Structure 1
Amino acid sequence: MSPRLPRRDFLALAGAAAAAPLLPAFAASPTGKPLHGLSAFGDLKYAADFKHFDYVNPDAPKGGTISFSVPSWLYNQSPLTFNTLNSFTPKDDGPPRMEMCFDTLLTAALDEPDALYGRLAESVTISDDRNSFEFRLRPEARFHDGTPVTSADVAFTFMTYKEKGHYDLQLPLLELTSAEAVDPQTVRLTFTGKQSERTILTVAEFPIVSKAFYTANDFSQPTMIPPLGSGPYKVGRVVAGQTIEYERNPDYWARDLGFSRGLYNFDRIRIEFYRDRQAGFEAFKKGDLTYRQEHVSRTWATAYDFPALNDKKVVKRTFSGEKRPSLQAMALNQRRERFRDPRVRRAIALCFDFEWTNRNLFYGVYTRSHSTFERSDYRAEGLPSPEELAILDPLRGKIPDEAFGEAVLQPSSDGSGRDRKLLGTASRLLAEAGWKRNGNMLQNDKGEKLSLEILADDDSLVRIFSPFVENMRVIGIDATIRQVDSAQYNLRQNEFDYDLISAAFSFEATPTRDTMELFFHSRAAASPSARNYPGVRDAGVDALVEAVGLAKDRPALVAAMRALDRVLRARMDWIPNWHSANHLVAFWDMFGFKEPKPDYGFPVEALWWFDKDKAKAIGKG
């Protein structure tokens, strides 16, 4: 999400692993045989006894602190505040990175698009019908209180998520029929057969919780009691709504295993919460925060001129973005009747002048987005390929005719900030949709005004969307912006109480049907905490989501995703706006890291380490 979403920071052959034999893809993985890892289509890079991932420094020192405000989050988490330490429920605001306190059955390699390797589970065995998966747990796995992680904990976790978890956790478990503790170290997950083949790749990364802890503490209720986890970090100092510190567990049971070596190096990860971006930036300039990922182009272009940077105590640089599809767009809420006509949505899109905005407000930092899946092979280009047409043709009459032509692009303006040609086209579209002028505003036959409120929780969005609002008002839309605090924003977002919101997400490099359902399927349109913000309810889109899940190889997946992209762009459910090819990063020069960064993730709090000599040189030793 993922933004939470943006959705999450998860997820070449080199070194010793280059010599390892390539192992079978998940679709062809043998049944009835314990496997050390799974992959959707590609070969597994690392052998069962791999010593460490190639993108880490296995000898990275432990120690020090990194303090920052998070650039990404997931589940119910918020970067602005928190009122519970349970990140896995659909309500309340949890603190980001709580998942680092928990282990998962399998863990992703950040230099492969979809490979998972054993973490809590030392192996996984697939049943002959591929509907059941037996995970054999490592006997050394322990919770932070020293008690073993057992199959009962795993079974409890999945059934609890299925019944009470955040929708991100619930949806992939819809077809789960049972989670059974076969013996203390073996758990079996069984599905109906209607699940996607790749569903297991999603659920195997769900955090495993303690049955004992959530028997004593109600999973559904907000709590500031630190949960019992088994991961490399545990909750330290907490100031509700302001600060949370995660302390490295020196007795972490997996510290010497291949998936952990070279990672989780900081003794302390401190996350600070600021409702105002400028306050966070001032804290970084003073050194209260030591790492910052910049999301405001004006700040990046004009404000990085302060003593610590000029004295070379602070480093300002870019890191390449991940090879993962990204969605940054505006969502018009079709649960409200006035936005259900695609002509209305297209007219509203014509009022946003990206060229003027990029020059005057973004300082040329961003690129115009056109696709639902930017920066990936899943972005549709030109006319549909024969493979795409094979998927689209059976849906003729159920999907827009535009999906069979050139891929829909967002309009290019004259850069004036008020392109008369585009605004004239928008007015004609609204008239065709039944909206007529009555004075300065548009009305329908019922006498209802065409009103639109943009919901925002940040000053920067108010600044960016104000010219957009003015253009809408020029053509008769009663447009306004309402800025609310983060708690109210999250509540209204989860309850779909808005006209238009802006969001950014990062999808998996190998998207699953479960993720596509979460964002685009009718099933998610009425589910609180789901990511289907526009409220898409369309049989054609549902069929394309199913096609994504049925893809048997990567070319078939690419064709299905491009077909879905074409239809979503033609429907204008999400209105793509802008994106950046790189991470804009600044940090106090006290960290070590290995380059190049991995292609499929950038969790600096897990990858980087504290460099004592550098810290001492800038007075932070």
Structure 2
Amino acid sequence: MIRNLLVAFSIYTLATSALAAPDNHSSLIHGIAMHGEVKYPADFQRFDYTSAQAVKGGTLRRGLQGTFDSLNPFIAKGSSGDKLSLLYDTLTVQSGDEAFSQYGLLAEHIEIPEDRSWVIFHLHKTAKFHDGEAVKASDVVFTFNLLMEQGAPFYRSYYGGVSTVEALSPHQVKFTFKDGVNRELALIIGQLPVLPEHYWSSRDFSASSLEFPLGSGPYQIQSADAGRSIVYQRVKDYWAEDLPVNRGINNFDTIQIDYYKDGVVVLEALKAGRFDFRWENISKQWATSYTGPAFDQGLLQKSMIEHDNPSGMQCFLINLRKDKFKDSRVRQALNYAFDYEWSNKNLFYGLYARTNSFFANSELASSGIPEGRELEILEEFRGSVPDSVFTQTYTNPISDGSGNNRGNLRKAAKLLKEAGWVVKDNQLVNAKTGQPFTIEMIIYAPSSERIVNPYAKALKRLGIVMTVKNVEISQYINRMRSFDYDMVTGGMGQSLSPGNEQMEYWHSSSADKQGSRNYAGIQNKAIDKLVELVIAAPSREELVYRTRALDRVLLHNHYVVPQFHSGAHRIAYWDKFGQPDIAPKYDSGYSMGLMTWWVDPDKEKQLNNAKQSIKQ
């Protein structure tokens, strides 16, 4: 399961709040969990991480580095604007304090049999789009078919387990699933954003466009200036405003997102009061640049918030579609050349931990030597996965942090030689063809250069010439979609509930599908089977074992050069907000967590007065 792009699984339950039990052994329920029971009963009033003290009003201003040239986030064309999900309601909505539970939004009730072979969503009869037209079951069918036929390739994989979708009545839509066990599908379909058929039937959905789209969600676009800003305005007569899943959420009257080309300028704009909230992902800036009178006086708040989300895998991604990377010894050598300890000490101010798992910072991460149930799962693949899976604990190379990484570079050189590469005239070449070993690393953020350049210098000592090419973000996106790269700095976000999205990351079926998230180009039958086992996990306990097995096999194939992660979010904001007493446990702070905040009128007045005193 993907969660904004993120959370953990918990098994379907017939909630104690079941409203009816038809003869076909299905139940009409208000919420559904992946494993276990839903936390909130049918008569719940609000999520625990929201506040009854929240008030509507005011403006939230965000500043981001990047650009956009499209208001259609569903296609693999253009660079879409940020937070466009605010325009669209989904069939269900996920709670931020459960591993993976969905509650009705557009769907007033959910009907599902015990074997989860299908699901029927009973729509609210009061649901409407922003133009006043009712949201109907036919809109759901239209949306599903539209995304499958013209949407980004991701959708065809994510919703690939659906056999049929049909409108049973104006307010009932049924999804029937293909044979096979995928207990997650009912929840995944609940995440479907519903688009208006009467709007899109006369437009080219596949074209990148800046026309303001029609939705049914809590916000609509007030203005958009391509590459510069988007302003969202809260819908005053939003049909679902008083539903329990929305109480205390979506409190800002206006949300303004301004775009900047340079990360340093973004921070300076925050300090100047040009926007209100920043989520910082550059450790150097966090350690050295969040200073000044506004911070000293407490007007700008700086906070590190620990979270329980898996960190995913941030890494140097290696494109296995290129012949020079097909030998795992080559890929392992590339990892030996990365001196993380020196980088963390000199570049990151010791703020990171090395990532040793694709599911780091969670119970899903593998460790040690496989045993028990995890070993039983892996035994099926003995002989088709690296022997080290069974005999060695995966660990990344370690240096002393001095910058003298000779020991690891010697190991890298040995691996490269074993793989058929030799040094001639200080250049690493293929022993058979004489082809030099070169790497083009593409980046789009100048801040990445301080990480990549030391790595390039280390590779040069091995005879590998790495060229670092800084490209515009639109070109970067297009090259990523077409797999036109040797290596990139990237990552695969994870949640506590891995499921269908793993097909996009690792499965052979997505390796040659342009626009997929199988950035490494992995085609491995054992991994295909492990991904399928993860998706079909019948319980939370089994999901953990199967995910650890998948993690272990991915690691021992050395598909990436792991980088680093943090178990806390670094945020800074002007002190004008009210916040609930409880933060959503599984939220990033950027999506639903921030959307539970509100502008406190008294705080905002005091802040504005204090800002004037600073200027004087």
Instruction: Please indicate, yes or no, whether the TM-score normalized by the shorter chain is above 0.5.
Output: yes
For the residues of structure 2 that align with 1:81 and 1:194, how far apart are their CA atoms?
42
For the residues of structure 2 that align with 1:304 and 1:536, how far apart are their CA atoms?
41
For the residues of structure 1 that align with 2:482 and 2:269, how far apart are their CA atoms?
33
Give the secondary structure class of the aligned counterpart of 1:273. Answer: strand
Q: Hey, what does 2:47 align to over in structure 1?
A: 53
For the residues of structure 2 that align with 1:303 and 1:338, how far apart are their CA atoms?
41
Q: 1:376 to 1:315 in 2, by over 3 A?
A: same
- Summarize the alignment of residues 219-258 of structure 1 with structure 2, pairs less than 5 Å apart: 219-258=205-244
Q: 1:21 to 1:31 in 2, by over 3 A?
A: closer
Distance apart, 1:307 and its partner CA: 2.3
Q: Hey, what does 1:606 align to over in structure 2?
A: 595
Q: 1:99 to 1:418 in 2, by over 3 A?
A: same
Q: Hey, what does 2:483 align to over in structure 1?
A: 496
For the residues of structure 1 that align with 2:532 and 2:63, how far apart are their CA atoms?
37
Q: Hey, what does 2:28 align to over in structure 1?
A: 34
Q: Is the 8 A contact 1:65 1:610 kept in 2?
A: yes
Letter aligned with residue 32 of structure 1: S
Distance apart, 1:129 and its partner CA: 5.4
Is 1:615 paired with 2:604?
yes
Is 1:8 paired with 2:2?
no
CA-to-aligned-CA distance 1:322-361 (integer Å, 9 cap, x gap): 3335222221000001001110001011111111001100
Q: Hey, what does 1:345 align to over in structure 2?
A: 331
Q: Hey, what does 1:87 align to over in structure 2?
A: 73
Aligned partner of 2:141 among 130, 151, 155 = 155
Q: Hey, what does 1:75 align to over in structure 2?
A: none
CA-to-aligned-CA distance 1:397-432 (integer Å, 9 cap, x gap): 111111112331111112122311000000000000
Q: Hey, what does 2:399 align to over in structure 1?
A: 413
| TM-score, structure 2 as length reference | 0.94
Q: Is the 8 A contact 1:159 1:178 kept in 2?
A: no
Distance apart, 1:42 and its partner CA: 2.0
Distance apart, 1:151 and its partner CA: 0.3
Give the secondary structure class of the aligned counterpart of 1:503. Answer: strand
Distance apart, 1:117 and its partner CA: 0.5
For the residues of structure 1 that align with 2:361 and 2:251, how far apart are their CA atoms?
30
Distance apart, 1:289 and its partner CA: 1.4
Letter aligned with residue 233 of structure 2: E
Distance apart, 1:128 and its partner CA: 6.3
For the residues of structure 1 that align with 2:292 and 2:49, how far apart are their CA atoms?
33
Q: Hey, what does 1:449 align to over in structure 2?
A: 436
Is 1:470 paired with 2:467?
no
For the residues of structure 2 that align with 1:550 and 1:574, how far apart are their CA atoms?
26
Letter aligned with residue 509 of structure 1: L
Letter aligned with residue 454 of structure 1: M
Give the secondary structure class of the aligned counterpart of 2:70. Answer: coil
For the residues of structure 2 that align with 1:216 and 1:242, how far apart are their CA atoms?
28
With 355-364 and 274-283 compared, the bigger mean Cα shift is at 274-283
Aligned partner of 1:261 among 247, 253, 257 = 247
Aligned partner of 2:151 among 161, 165, 173 = 165
Is 1:565 paired with 2:551?
yes
Q: Is the 8 A contact 2:15 2:32 kept in 1?
A: no
Q: Hey, what does 1:583 align to over in structure 2?
A: 569
Aligned partner of 1:203 among 189, 192, 215 = 189
For the residues of structure 2 that align with 1:7 and 1:576, how far apart are their CA atoms?
22
Q: Hey, what does 1:374 align to over in structure 2?
A: 360
- Summarize the alignment of residues 494-573 of structure 1 with structure 2, pairs less than 5 Å apart: 494-512=481-499, 514-573=500-559
Letter aligned with residue 542 of structure 2: A
Letter aligned with residue 568 of structure 2: N
For the residues of structure 2 that align with 1:381 and 1:348, how far apart are their CA atoms?
22
With 198-207 and 242-251 compared, the bigger mean Cα shift is at 198-207
Q: Hey, what does 2:304 align to over in structure 1?
A: 318
Q: Is the 8 A contact 1:66 1:290 kept in 2?
A: yes
Aligned length: 596
CA-to-aligned-CA distance 1:16-35 (integer Å, 9 cap, x gap): xxxx98679xxxxx942212
CA-to-aligned-CA distance 1:377-413 (integer Å, 9 cap, x gap): 1111111121111111111111111111233111111
Aligned partner of 1:429 among 399, 415, 432 = 415
CA-to-aligned-CA distance 1:123-163 (integer Å, 9 cap, x gap): 12124653221110000101001110000100001111111
Q: Hey, what does 2:343 align to over in structure 1?
A: 357
For the residues of structure 1 that align with 2:210 and 2:232, how far apart are their CA atoms?
14
CA-to-aligned-CA distance 1:451-492 (integer Å, 9 cap, x gap): 111111111111111111100000111112111110000000
For the residues of structure 1 that align with 2:114 and 2:395, how far apart are their CA atoms?
45
| TM-score, structure 1 as length reference | 0.93
For the residues of structure 2 that align with 1:230 and 1:536, how far apart are their CA atoms?
39
CA-to-aligned-CA distance 1:272-291 (integer Å, 9 cap, x gap): 11221111111111111110
Q: Is the 8 A contact 1:175 1:195 kept in 2?
A: no
For the residues of structure 2 that align with 1:42 and 1:578, how far apart are their CA atoms?
32
Q: Hey, what does 1:17 align to over in structure 2?
A: none
Q: Is the 8 A contact 2:59 2:252 kept in 1?
A: yes
C-alpha RMSD over aligned residues: 1.9
Q: Is the 8 A contact 2:369 2:391 kept in 1?
A: yes
Identity of aligned residues (%): 36
Q: Hey, what does 1:481 align to over in structure 2?
A: 468
Aligned partner of 2:274 among 288, 303, 319 = 288
Letter aligned with residue 611 of structure 1: D
With 307-316 and 123-132 compared, the bigger mean Cα shift is at 123-132
Letter aligned with residue 368 of structure 2: G
Q: Is the 8 A contact 1:343 1:429 kept in 2?
A: yes
Q: Is the 8 A contact 2:222 2:233 kept in 1?
A: yes
Q: Is the 8 A contact 1:57 1:594 kept in 2?
A: yes
Q: Is the 8 A contact 2:199 2:214 kept in 1?
A: yes
Q: Is the 8 A contact 2:51 2:581 kept in 1?
A: no
Is 1:65 paired with 2:59?
yes
Q: Hey, what does 1:15 align to over in structure 2?
A: none
For the residues of structure 1 that align with 2:112 and 2:466, how far apart are their CA atoms?
54
Distance apart, 1:606 and its partner CA: 1.4
For the residues of structure 2 that align with 1:366 and 1:615, how far apart are their CA atoms?
34
Q: 1:231 to 1:182 in 2, by over 3 A?
A: same
Distance apart, 1:233 and its partner CA: 0.6
Q: Is the 8 A contact 1:454 1:501 kept in 2?
A: yes
Distance apart, 1:199 and its partner CA: 2.0
CA-to-aligned-CA distance 1:73-106 (integer Å, 9 cap, x gap): xxxxxx6111111100122111121011100111
Aligned partner of 1:391 among 359, 377, 380 = 377
Distance apart, 1:7 and its partner CA: 5.2
Aligned partner of 2:201 among 212, 215, 223 = 215
Q: Is the 8 A contact 1:23 1:44 kept in 2?
A: no
Distance apart, 1:177 and its partner CA: 2.4
Letter aligned with residue 453 of structure 2: S
With 578-587 and 58-67 compared, the bigger mean Cα shift is at 58-67
For the residues of structure 2 that align with 1:605 and 1:142, how far apart are their CA atoms?
26
- Summarize the alignment of residues 56-205 of structure 1 with structure 2, pairs less than 5 Å apart: 56-69=50-63, 80-127=66-113, 130-194=116-180, 196-205=182-191
Q: 1:542 to 1:202 in 2, by over 3 A?
A: same
For the residues of structure 2 that align with 1:167 and 1:218, how far apart are their CA atoms?
17
Q: Is the 8 A contact 2:576 2:603 kept in 1?
A: yes
